[in-house]
Amino acid sequence: MTSIERTANVATRLVVSGIRVYRRRLSPWKGFRCAHAAYFGGESCSAAVLRLVETHGLVEGWPSVLERFAACRDAYDLLGSRGVTQDGFRARGVCCCGPIPIPFRCGVI
List the domain boundaries for the chain. Answer: 3-108
Asked whether residue 107 carries a pLDDT value surpassing 80, the answer given is no
Distance CA 45, CA 93 (A): 15
Task: Dump pLDDT digits (tens) for 50-86.
Answer: 999 999 999 999 999 999 999 988 887 777 665 565 5
Helix spans in 1-109 (H) = 3-21, 27-30, 35-40, 45-82
What mean pLDDT is predicted for residues 43-50?
92
